[in-house]
Structure 1
Amino acid sequence: MAPPRLDYSHLPKYYPSPPTPEQTAALLERRRVAEATPLERGDQLEWTGPAMHQDALPPLPYPPTASPAANPHRPLLRSLLSSSGPAFSDTPWTLELVEALQNKTEGGNWSQVWRCRAKKVEGSGEAVDVVVKLLHESLFPVPTEGGDFESDMWDWWSAEWLERKEASNYALLNDFQGADIPICYGYYHFDLPHGERVVGLVLEDLSAIARTLGDFLLRARTAKNDELELEDGVDNLFTPALQAVRRFHDRGVVYLEPQSDDILILKGDNMQAGPLSLIFLDLAHTSTRAQAEESIRKANIRSPPIPINSRPQEPRHWRSNDESWIQGLIEVQAGFECGRAWSKLERERGLLGLWRDVWRKQ
């Protein structure tokens, strides 16, 4: 028998001022209940469509006939997008949790991520491998945990806000799905074992065909027993990574700032053989240009004003910020000398026209 559904609708979705002691106590109790019944391997979550945010689904027909995505499009799980699939029907499906990829919402992680087997509750059809990303707000940081409410609120989102942000980005990058980003099979409601209903995003499972950027570079450095150099083909990593950022910017998606486990490289790819195929994960913490412009407007009129050095950067710096972030992320893993050598190569040839190099010439 299913537990009674928990109702947290009385709690505010946003906290424009520090939560009252009563609200803080309610948030902490909500977390205690969630932590007392953690998700475990073998748990089954039922879900029913149709999917929310239909424009976040991949383009049909798939793959798109024309797309600026650099990588070849990967196969689609058509059973999830068929007329009887969850994306477009109310046919009940179930997810069996197989492996936790991220089950702690702490240290900058805002969701629980599991590899799963998805299948219809009744009828025929094989189970398929997917990943589910659960936006479990009960485990999010409490708005006052950092001690500085102004700072906390600049970095705090509700589950609903994260859901809408990421869904809008999957829609903006619709034809990149299955190539530069994972395939999105839709947003659904899931009832957790302790009775709480959360929104989850069902995604393509890439664990069998790709590894993280950090793992890829660790293997490359271990094989060489030293830092990497230009001769090791690092141009085939730096260049496609920055070209991908350029494509995202051209669609209006900014402030990417991924971590090394948010970028995947297909297994079997070799830097010496040619440009690598990169897949970018976690679009929830990016912004669109419109969202960034609104943040800048709010920062400029906020009282008390937010210090200049902590405000969102002006539009002219968006590209440079993301380019520097991606290059720095690779340098940390590959070696700073190799990053310097690649920067010199790029300045001399001017293939990418990096924004910081453009400014140097002005």
Structure 2
Amino acid sequence: MPFIDLASQYAALKDRIAERMQRVLDHGQYIMGPEVAELEGQLAAFTGARHCITVSSGTEALLIALMALDLKPGDEVITTPFTFAATAETIVLLGGVPVFVDIEPDTCNLDVSLVEARITPRTRAIMPVSLYGQVADMAPLNAIAARHGLPVIEDAAQSFGATYQGARSGALSTFGCTSFFPSKPLGCYGDGGAIFTSDDTLARACREIRVHGQSARYTHTRVGVGGRMDTLQCAIVLAKLERFEWELQRRREIGARYSQLLDGSGVQLLTVRPDRECVWGQYTVFVERRAEVQAHLQAAGIPTAVHYPKPLHRQPAYAAHAGDAAFPVSDAASERVMSLPMSADLTEAQQDRVVEALRRSLA
């Protein structure tokens, strides 16, 4: 059983993907070809953001967003330690300082009630992560940011397609940054990502930064990077968009069925808040004796993963940024979280196998 079933997805979309890729091979515009603008238009319309800027990865999306905000060495960005390294990595690469805030114990998202106390005169932005496919609590976070004149960057690498109070992930704050890594809810066949914003000035800055800071050919108005998304990858995402709404519905149904089947099993489930829809970038649960449970599942042919086994304040590259602060909820989550197989093509029979094996492992 695959952890993420990309083969079944490809089988369903094979002809459309081939057509889309052949079109690129025929016109030969492999960099910034017409599919780039086409995809950006469709993604902007999907999220409700005024602008979409495709980039070479989700990491590059975060980096370019921070560069567009002119993050300077010593500037602080409030974020979560319970995330993939890219979240803090982009801050540090620009000389900024990640300021960690602990997470909610039931969602694993940033605990917004702790944010305001961490704001200082050096704070330049707030970067929540929409973990496991569920958006963080953006309304109160945006209110805090507005009081202090701070931009908010949603790290939406795992939540493209999710909603919060009826609005789409990516269009909920100053910036939304997502990833099209193959395992994401909407993935390409390599690296890719996108930045969303409704601020015209910031959008222009992002577009210039992704092409080495050029406002026109060989006119470098700012420092930039080589951050373009390949035309072929854009073509693949365009093909995948044709059944994406169906996939989102399947993810919601599969997530709900997992929760129903695991009720009373002794497994603690993630809480999905009533004002939002989760797209289950990973279907993650909390278990005791995780290593034993994983070994039992592996023996039964069930793959699992841990996102994330060591929070950033425990990582050698970022531990110094934590100072003397403690993050007990992140530490506790890192010892108990476990992700189960999840994709839109997961069958009920496969799901039953997963749940049965998990229940046996806990007996």
Say whether the fold is shared (TM-score over 0.5): no
Higher relative contact order (CA 8 A, sep 6+): 2
Q: Which of 1 and 2 has greater Rg?
A: 1
- Counting helix residues as a fraction of each chain, which structure ranks higher? 2
TM-score (normalised: structure 2): 0.31
TM-score (normalised: structure 1): 0.31
